[in-house]
Amino acid sequence: MMPMSYFIGLSILMFAMGILGVLLRRNPLIVFMSLELMFNSANLLFVAFSAYHHVLDGQLFVFFVMTTAAAEVAVGLALIVAIFKAKRTIDLDQMSSLKG
Amino acid sequence: MSLGSILLYGLLGVVVAISGIGLITSRNAIYGALFLVLNFITVALLYIALGAPFIALAQVTVYAGSIMVLFLFVIMLLGAEQLPIAEPIRGQRILAILLFVAFLAEMALFVMLRGSPVVAGAPITPDFSTPATMGTLLFEQYLLPFEMTAGVLLAATVGAVFLTRSPRPERKSALPEAQQAGKESS
């Protein structure tokens, strides 16, 4: 099997790219997809540690993360659609109605 | 460890990196979504290599399948493929790069200061993570989280429907009055 550092490095890489996507992009859909990338990197670490320690619970946590991410995506996309209906734009910089 | 497996893992890592970079740099959101699908499928291959076939297939069907279809559907519905390039918040880019570098520094510190490296035990056997063992663990030890997840999914579905419904055109309350008015006039 590959050394654990390979999976840790790959996971850090994916999480870092997700952070860059969330911080730099202003299209909320790309921001959401970057969030999914970060979920994915955490899942990869879960599965890798589960295989290295021979504990199956890590894989079940990935299962729960997947279902929760599906719920989060459904609500998030519904929010984006609702915001688009109200404001006719989904640029993140335009969503500043609560700004003092 | 053989040269072939090093090459395979290296190739998978490169594909993961390239698809991630493609996601955050693509101007068109559709291309970003397709890059993310590629990323998910590559990570699913890594799951198979780690001896987790059930999670790998769930990744392909749930993530690369349904969630990304939902994303593509919303992107095309809103016509949000390309947002007009507007002036970003002042200093946002610099701040983002700073936070990114801070995260990388933290991770480098973690990797360097970590105690003893993780020692892999015996290679996992094929019957370590079959759907049967996963299901047994899920329905015996994790039954309550499983039911709560079902509740969360139901709440999310109802919430999504509630959020995106169009406002009712007030016809039901207006109709009887109009009928009554029609009766009175006749």
Instruction: Give the residue among B19, B46, B99 at the shortest CA–CA distance from A13.
Output: B19
Checking if the pLDDT of A10 tops 60, the result is: yes
Task: Say if the Cβ atoms of A70 and B62 lie within 8 Å.
Answer: yes
Phi (first) and psi of residue B165, to 5 degrees: -70, 150
Q: Which residues of B touch A88 (CB under 8 A)?
A: none
Pick the residue from chain A with its C-alpha nearest to B14.
A10
Of all residues in chain A, what percent carry a pLDDT higher than 90? 49
Tokens 């392909």 appear where? Answer: B60
Q: What is the pLDDT of residue A42?
A: 95
| ipTM score | 0.91
Distance CA A25, CA B124 (A): 41
**Closest among B61, B66, B22 to B41, alpha carbons compared:** B61
What is B1-82's CATH topology?
Four Helix Bundle (Hemerythrin (Met), subunit A) (1.20.120)
Residue B177 has pLDDT above 70, yes or no: no
pLDDT-derived band at A47, boundaries 50, 70, 90 = very high
User: Is A37–B36 a contact, with Cβ atoms under 8 angstroms apart?
Assistant: yes
pLDDT of residue B176: 55
Yes or no, beta carbons of B133 and A56 under 8 Å apart: yes
What pLDDT score does B84 carry?
59
Task: Return the higher-pLDDT residue of B81 and B10.
Answer: B10
Mean pLDDT to the nearest integer, A10-36: 90
Q: Please give the pLDDT value at position B13.
A: 94
Average pLDDT over residues A49-65: 90
Taking only the tens place, the pLDDT of each residue in B5-61 is 889 999 999 999 999 999 988 888 899 999 999 999 999 999 998 888 999 999 999
Q: Spell out the domain ranges in chain B.
A: 1-82, 130-162
Instruction: State residue B180's pLDDT score.
Output: 55
* Mean pLDDT calculated for residue range A77-94: 82
Task: Select the residue of B5, B67, B78 nearest A73 (Cβ to Cβ).
Answer: B67
pLDDT band at B178 (very low <50, low <70, confident <90, very high): low
Give residue A85's pLDDT: 84
Rounded to an integer, the average pLDDT of B85-91 is 62
C-alpha span between B119 and B116 (Å, rounded): 8
Does residue B2 belong to the interface with chain A, where contact is any CB pair within 8 Å?
no
B124 vs B23, more confident: B23
The Cα A49–Cα B42 span in angstroms is 18
Residue B143: CB atoms within 10 A of its CB come to 10
Q: For position B110, what pLDDT does the model report?
A: 86
Which of A12, A33, A34 to mutate against chain B (most B CBs within 10 Å)?
Answer: A33
Contact B39 A40 (CB under 8 A): yes
Is the Cα torsion angle B73, B78, B83, B89 positive or negative in sign?
negative
CB nearest B40 (choices: A26, A40, A49): A40
Q: List CB contacts (< 8 A) between B104 and chain A.
A: 12, 16
| Angle ∠(B68,A61,B152) on CA atoms, nearest 5 | 65
**B35, B55, B138: which to substitute to probe chain A, counting the most A Cβ within 10 Å?**
B55
Measure in Å the smallest separation between the Cα of B169 and chain A Cα atoms.
16
CA separation for the pair B18, B130 (Å, rounded): 31
Q: Note the pLDDT of residue B169.
A: 64
**pLDDT for res A19:** 93
Picking from A40, A68, A60, the residue whose alpha carbon sits closest to that of residue B149 is A68
- Tell me what pLDDT residue B167 has: 72
Beta-strand runs (E) in A19-69? none
Q: How confident is the model at residue B120 (pLDDT cuts 50, 70, 90)?
A: low
Q: Is the dihedral of CA B49, B50, B51, B57 positive or negative?
A: negative
Specify the residue for token string 């640029």. Answer: A91
Minimum mean pLDDT among B85-89, B156-160, B175-179: which range?
A: B175-179
| Cα separation values, B132 from A93, B44, B138, B143, Å | 48, 19, 10, 15
Percent of chain B with pLDDT over 70: 80
Q: What is the CATH number of domain A4-88?
A: 1.10.287.3510
